Amino acid sequence: MRGIALFEEIRFLDTTLRDGEQTPGVSLTPEDKLTIAQNLDALGVAVIEAGSAIASEGERRSLRAIASAGLQAEICSFARANLPDLDAAIDCGVDSVHLVVPVSDLHIERKLKSNREAVLQRALEVTEYAKSHGLVVELSGEDASRADLDFLCRLYSSGIEAGADRLCFCDTVGLMVPERTFEVFRRLSALGAPVSIHCHNDFGMATSNTVAALRGGAAQAHVTINGIGERAGNTSLEEVTMILENLYGISTGIRCDMLYQVSRMVSRLTGIQVAPNKAIVGENAFTHEAGIHVDALLKDSSTYEAMQPEQVGRERRIVLGKKSGKAAVERALREFGLSVNHDQLCEIVTRVKELGDKGKRVTDADLQAISDIVLAREHEPMVRLQEVTVISGNRVTPTASVKIILNGKETLEAAAGVGPVDAAINAIRRSMVGVADVRLEEYHVDAITGGTNALVEVWVTMAKDDRKITASGAGADIIMASVEAVLEGINRLMWLEERKDG
C-alpha cells in the first residue's frame, strides 16, 4: 500500500451536496442540505463540499447555514478560477474552496478559448487571492486525465508556491484505468502537497480508480453517498470505505455502522433510488435466497458474506422463492413460532417453489398462509357458507345476506355496503361478532383471464389481534371469490387461535 503510509490518515471530501446534487432531477432545499451535512459530519468525513456559492441565493443560504452549524468537518465551496466565485465563497464564511481550473488542452482551447500559460497565470492569481482572504485552497485540475502530465505537474508545483494547501486530480469523464491511475499518483505524490483523487463513473471504474490513487499516494478521496452525481455518478463513499477497512485493514475514521442509515436518508431527500444490487447499501447486498447458499450461511455467515451486515448498520435478510431450500424455510417458520414435521416441511417447501415458479415473490404473509393450509388440513372448517344473496343496482343500496354454519350452529345476518362485495363481507363479519372479531386489512383482485367472463383471483389480508393471514379465492363470480377468500382467512385465524389456546 505505497502512498497510504505517506500520510497519517486517509481523508474523505464528500461532494454529495455539490457534485451529487448535479444529478439530473435533484434539487435540495437549504434545510435538506443542512440535514445531509449534519449526517455527513456525524459519519466522520473530513471535508464537506457543501455547494457552489456563486450558483444562487439559495445555495449561499445553504452554505452559510452549514458553515455556522458548528460542525467538526471543514466546510468547502466549489469555485471556478475567477474572483466573483471566490468573493461569494468568502461571503458565506466557508473554511475552504475547491478551486477548479481546466487543465486539458481540450478544455483550455475549446471551452476557455485560451492557452496553457494564461490558465497557469490565472490559477496562481486566484490561489493567492483566496489565501490572502484566509481560505484553505484545494487547487483542482479539471479534466486532468486528458491533460499533459508535465504541464499538470508544473501547474500544481506553481500552485504550491502560491500557497495551495492541497491539490486535486479530476478524472472528469471517467477515462482512467487503475493501472494508469496508480502510476500517475506515484508521480503526483512526490510534489510536496497532499493530492486528492476525484473520479467519475462513466465506465464503472470510479471506485477502483480511487483505490488505485490511494495506493499510489493520494491523501484524500472525493466521494458521494450512494455514488450519486452527474451522468453515471461519482465515487461511492461506502464502497471505498469498506474496501479500505475490510480488504486493506486501514481505519478510515468513518462511522461504518451509519453508512446504511445515511444512504437511506440521502436517497429519500434526493429522490434517487439505490439500485437493489448496489454494493454495501443496495437492498440485495445482504439478501439471500438460493437454498445451497442459505444452508451454508446459517452454519457460517462468512461462507457467502464478505462482511457482517451489522458492520454497515444492516441486517441479513433471507427471502423465499423457487431457489429456496428446506433450511431457509424451516428458519423462517421458526421465526413465526411454528414447528413442523418432515413431511409438512417438504410440502411447504414445494408450495413455496410453486409460487416462485409463477414469478411471485414469496412474502412472510404468503409463507404464513401456506403453512396454515398445510397445518390445518386435517381440521374441519369452523365456519362454512350455506347461502349468500346480494341485491345491488343504481337505485338500490347494495345489501347482502349470508347464512353460515358457525361451530355447528346456523347464523343468518344481513348488511349494507358501498358495493355488493363490501356488503357481503360486512354481512360475514357481522355474523362473527362476539365469536371471532376479525378485520379486513387488505383486498386485491386480479383478472386471470380476459373478457367479461374473466376468471378472477381475490387476495385478502384478515387480522385478529396481532395476527395476520393472507387468503385467496378464485372464480368467475367476484362476489363468491371474495366470500371464499374471507371465509378461508377467518377459518385459519380461528384454527390458529384454538391451537395457541390448546
HSE-CB for 427 with a 13 A CA cutoff: 30
Burial 13-47 (b: 16+ CB within 10 A, else e): bbbbbbbbbbbeebebebebbbebbbbbbebbbbb
| pLDDT value at residue 331 | 79
HSE-CB for 56 with a 13 A CA cutoff: 9
Q: How many residues in total does the chain contain?
A: 502
Number of separate helices (H) and strands (E) present in the chain: 16, 16
Report yes or no: 456 and 447 within 8 Å, Cβ to Cβ.
Answer: yes
List, by residue range, all CATH 3.20.20.70 domains of the chain. Answer: 10-270
pLDDT along the chain (502 residues), means of 10: 52 98 94 97 98 96 98 98 97 98 97 97 98 98 98 98 98 98 96 97 98 96 98 98 95 96 96 95 82 68 88 84 81 78 87 77 70 65 88 92 87 92 91 78 74 69 81 78 86 74 59
Give the domain 383-501 fold. Double Stranded RNA Binding Domain (3.30.160)
Helix, strand, coil fractions of the chain, as percent rounded to 5? 45, 25, 35
| pLDDT value at residue 6 | 42
The answer as to CATH 3.30.1490 being correct for domain 287-376 is no
Report yes or no: 432 and 490 within 8 Å, Cβ to Cβ.
Answer: yes
| pLDDT value at residue 137 | 98
Task: Kindly give, in sequence order, each residue whose CB lies less than 8 Å from that of residue 359, ignoring residues fewer than 6 positions away.
Answer: none
Tell me the C-alpha distance between 435 and 441, whole Å.
19
The answer as to CATH 3.30.360.10 being correct for domain 10-270 is no
Report yes or no: 323 and 356 within 8 Å, Cβ to Cβ.
Answer: yes
Report yes or no: 471 and 489 within 8 Å, Cβ to Cβ.
Answer: yes
Cell 486530480 belongs to residue: 169
Closest CA to 493 of 421, 404, 432: 432
List, by residue range, all CATH 3.30.160.270 domains of the chain. Answer: 383-501
List, by residue range, all CATH 1.10.238 domains of the chain. Answer: 287-376
Cα 84–Cα 100–Cα 273 angle in degrees, nearest 5 = 105
144 is written with which cell numbers?
486532468
